[in-house]
Structure 1
Amino acid sequence: MDLLGDYRTEIDKIDKEMTKLLEKRMNISKSISKYKMEHDMQIFHPEREKIVIEKNKGYLENKEYGDLVESYYDNLMYLSRLVQQKEIYSENNIYTKPYKNDRENLVVGYQGVPGSFGNEAMLKYFKNIKEAKSYEKFEDVFKAVEDGEIEYGILPVENSSTGGIGTVEDLLKEYNLYIVGEECIRISQNLVGIKGATVDDIKEVYSHPQGFEQSTKFFDKHKDYNLIPYSNTAISAKLVSDLKDKSKAAIASERAAKLYDLKIIKKDVNDLKNNYTRFIVIGRDLECDETCDKVSILFSIEDTSGGLYTVIRDIKEFGLNMSKIESRPNRNNPWNYIFFVDFDGNLFDVNIKKAINTIARSSKYFKLLGCYRNVKCK
């Protein structure tokens, strides 16, 4: 009696059934991708995947196989994502809506208060705003756009001296919204206080953390100052104005100082005089026309040797002019990273469509963030 042969025959039968079921599952994944395209949904839903894994672990009679089931379904759902990415980001399935050139008389939102850099960027980008709404947190702006409370939101995404705004980058991954435009403003940080206050009077300084980061040389000379992080530079200025205390100061713009009737105690305290912040405009639709010349994507890769190289090779092979690449820790997967990439191009270009399709297939997770008009910082 060939006992080993019997075991292998039984495994072959099981494998045959599993292959049939795998094919059936992948066909359903394709159907799901079509549904997601029609309803403008993201491919990757980590919470849903966790539920699937836990549910199937519960079906086990022998609980010792729990880790194996988790690994099995993790890989199975990864394969499903690959199938869906191939469908959604195929050359024929990148659907865009017309780029709205007439961005006037709109309800738009920003984070902060009047006098903030976000408010300044909004006024520079949008003309004849119907209504401007301010929000306390970056995520509040994302939620307002998603819920239709505002048509567009504008948020900082990158500073020339301190790099990317991590919170906003994380939200770009989490929300099913698109970048439809950008604006760039010069950042001049000033030490501001109530009238009559001097540098020697100051004991406490309020600012958004980036205001402190951009002004390290100034604060190295004033180590006796107590630096207190605050949600926004303009809100910091408003607080100092309300406190009416000579020992309190804020790092804020000249516009905020005027708005809240504060004195500029020390002008241009930021380390770099050519200090710029890039803002993105977010909307519910993927908008594009022939004048758009910048594409933004994000992706994650398999934790294997050469994973990032494969994507970079794809970018090089398609001749893409990459203007930015930045990594962020993946909050859903420790020691895994999300990469944000900007490159020149337009979604109506066949080469760009092919590049996006190829990069999506090389990625563990992929999202097309938008195609919009590039704005030079000057």
Structure 2
Amino acid sequence: MDLIKIREQISTLDKQLLGLAARRRELTMNVAKSKAHIVRPVRDQQREQELLVKLIQQGKELGLDAHYVTRLFQLIIEDSVLNQQAFLQQLKNPNTKAPTVSVAFLGDKGSYSHLASYRYFSRRAEEIIEFGCASFKEILNQVESGNVDYGMLPIENTSSGSINEVYDLLQHTNLSIVGELSQPIKHCLLSAVNTSLDAIDTIYAHAQPVQQCSNFLNKQSDIRIEYCESSADAMQMVEKLKQPNVAVIGSEEGGQLYGLQALQQGIANQDENHSRFILVARKPVDVAEQIPAKTTLILATGQSPGALVDCLVVLKQYDINMTKLESRPIQGRPWEEMFYIDLEANLKSVAMQECLTKLTELTRFIKVLGCYPSEQVNPTSVPFSALHDQ
């Protein structure tokens, strides 16, 4: 067959696939509507697994690889879960539904926070009004003053760990955490002109990507790092200079907004590099019972031996899983620590309310920073036997 005709047929099939994907999403939203007044979890992982095993077998009969089918439908299931959660959450909080939202984030267009904002609100709003900020403090100020609806803040990374400045700022704000997002971080070395890695002697970057790409940078000789307030600022600088000896660490997606091209991809220390972001707003939200929830709180224990252990025992008693424990110094009180705790629990559940009562008795200070939907969708597991012919 003529190559052009083959490509035309492929394009026709691609369009049909998009139509089927849209139709499937529409049907899954009907599923969400059916769950609106029934306290039933969004996910039924046993059913998901049975469905995936059946699809793998059907795919094999059509000559499709089991791993290909698995990856494809894990992504489709994740999209379905997140869309259903967003729908149910808006029903629970009708005052948050708006065609346009304003969001403050670190840096300008192309920064990781900018990309995370668009990814989060792609399911929740038709238009985003952007407010790029020069610092995390400015983001909080913009939300606190009412200039914007939300603030997007990176809080931890799988490679470089917690972002302490954000944790410290959360001590002193009245804002509530209302959402979270885990964003894949794919660091590239980008340039504004055709050049080579050997020609680079200056790299512009934010401090976090430098830390996350330290192994790659340590292998380069005679490289000077120029630190910038954000990855977007760094990309703007390289785009402005247009020199063959300068480059920037950033995402390929963000770099395209500035006409930058990738010299080298995948330069992070870890192949699986993810950043977790939190979304803050002036008012808290209620989390629908059908949705997995997280509650974040800060507490300060006394200086007595085992004070923190006593608090953790309370969590165990109420069968509440802790996903994060972070300690930060209390300003003005040398050698005393405040603890940030993420819990897999809905704040309004009976267990969480009773747990808070006990924790209040055991601590000098306790504050709930927010209860919000968990965006962590674990891939549907598949039995080994389904992936491999026996």
TM-score, scaled relative to structure 1: 0.71
Cα pair distance change 1:145/1:210, threshold 3 Å: same
Larger Rg, first or second structure (1 or 2): 1
Which of 121, 124, 127 is matched with 2:119 structurally? 124
Q: CA deviation at 1:130?
A: 4.5
Cα pair distance change 1:230/1:176, threshold 3 Å: same
For structure 2, which runs of at least 5 residues remain unmatched after alignment?
Answer: 1-91, 379-390
Structure 2 residue identity aligned to 1:110? F
For residue 376 of structure 1, give the secondary structure of its aligned residue in structure 2. coil
Which of 161, 164, 189 is matched with 1:163 structurally? 161
2: CA distance, partners of 1:299 / 1:270: 34
Deviations 1:329-370 (Å, cap 9, x if unpaired)? 223322211211111111221110111122123122211011
Contact 1:299/1:363 (8 A) holds in 2: yes
Cα pair distance change 1:100/1:184, threshold 3 Å: farther
Contact 2:115/2:254 (8 A) holds in 1: no
2: CA distance, partners of 1:271 / 1:283: 33
2: CA distance, partners of 1:227 / 1:238: 16
Which of 243, 258, 261 is matched with 1:260 structurally? 258
Cα pair distance change 1:305/1:103, threshold 3 Å: farther
In structure 1, the partner of 2:172 is 174
Structure 1 residue identity aligned to 2:366? F
1: CA distance, partners of 2:372 / 2:146: 21
Cα pair distance change 1:253/1:337, threshold 3 Å: same
Higher alpha-carbon deviation: 316-325 or 326-335: 326-335
For residue 217 of structure 2, give the secondary structure of its aligned residue in structure 1. helix
Q: CA deviation at 1:292?
A: 5.4
2: CA distance, partners of 1:104 / 1:338: 39
Contact 1:99/1:288 (8 A) holds in 2: no
Which of 277, 280, 289 is matched with 1:279 structurally? 277
For residue 106 of structure 1, give the secondary structure of its aligned residue in structure 2. strand
1: CA distance, partners of 2:264 / 2:369: 40
Cα pair distance change 1:377/1:333, threshold 3 Å: farther
2: CA distance, partners of 1:269 / 1:177: 35
Structure 2 residue identity aligned to 1:319? D
2: CA distance, partners of 1:228 / 1:138: 20
2: CA distance, partners of 1:351 / 1:101: 27
Corresponding position: 1:361 with 2:361: yes
Contact 2:212/2:269 (8 A) holds in 1: yes
Q: CA deviation at 1:189?
A: 0.5
CA RMSD of aligned residues (A): 1.7
Structure 2 residue identity aligned to 1:215? C
For residue 109 of structure 1, give the secondary structure of its aligned residue in structure 2. strand
Deviations 1:223-246 (Å, cap 9, x if unpaired)? 421122221112111111112222
Corresponding position: 1:328 with 2:342: no
Q: CA deviation at 1:194?
A: 2.0
Deviations 1:244-300 (Å, cap 9, x if unpaired)? 222221101112221111221111100111111111110111211323511111112
For residue 118 of structure 2, give the secondary structure of its aligned residue in structure 1. helix
In structure 2, the partner of 1:346 is 346
Contact 1:180/1:282 (8 A) holds in 2: yes
Alignment of 1:59-208 (within 5 A): 98=93, 102=97, 104-126=99-121, 127-208=125-206
Contact 1:185/1:377 (8 A) holds in 2: no
Contact 1:108/1:129 (8 A) holds in 2: no
2: CA distance, partners of 1:100 / 1:121: 23
Q: Percent identity between the aligned chains?
A: 29
Cα pair distance change 1:100/1:316, threshold 3 Å: farther
Structure 2 residue identity aligned to 1:113? D
Cα pair distance change 1:99/1:346, threshold 3 Å: farther
Contact 2:193/2:243 (8 A) holds in 1: no
Q: CA deviation at 1:105?
A: 1.2
Deviations 1:117-169 (Å, cap 9, x if unpaired)? 10101001113224121111111110111111011111111111111111111
Contact 1:276/1:377 (8 A) holds in 2: no
For residue 275 of structure 2, give the secondary structure of its aligned residue in structure 1. strand
Contact 2:292/2:344 (8 A) holds in 1: no
2: CA distance, partners of 1:361 / 1:145: 32
For structure 1, which runs of at least 5 residues remain unmatched after alignment?
Answer: 1-96
1: CA distance, partners of 2:237 / 2:365: 42
1: CA distance, partners of 2:315 / 2:210: 36
1: CA distance, partners of 2:354 / 2:118: 37
2: CA distance, partners of 1:329 / 1:151: 30
Deviations 1:91-118 (Å, cap 9, x if unpaired)? xxxxxx9475635411222111000110
1: CA distance, partners of 2:227 / 2:346: 40
2: CA distance, partners of 1:329 / 1:281: 23
Higher alpha-carbon deviation: 317-326 or 356-365: 356-365
Question: Aligned residue pairs: how many?
Answer: 282
For residue 304 of structure 2, give the secondary structure of its aligned residue in structure 1. coil
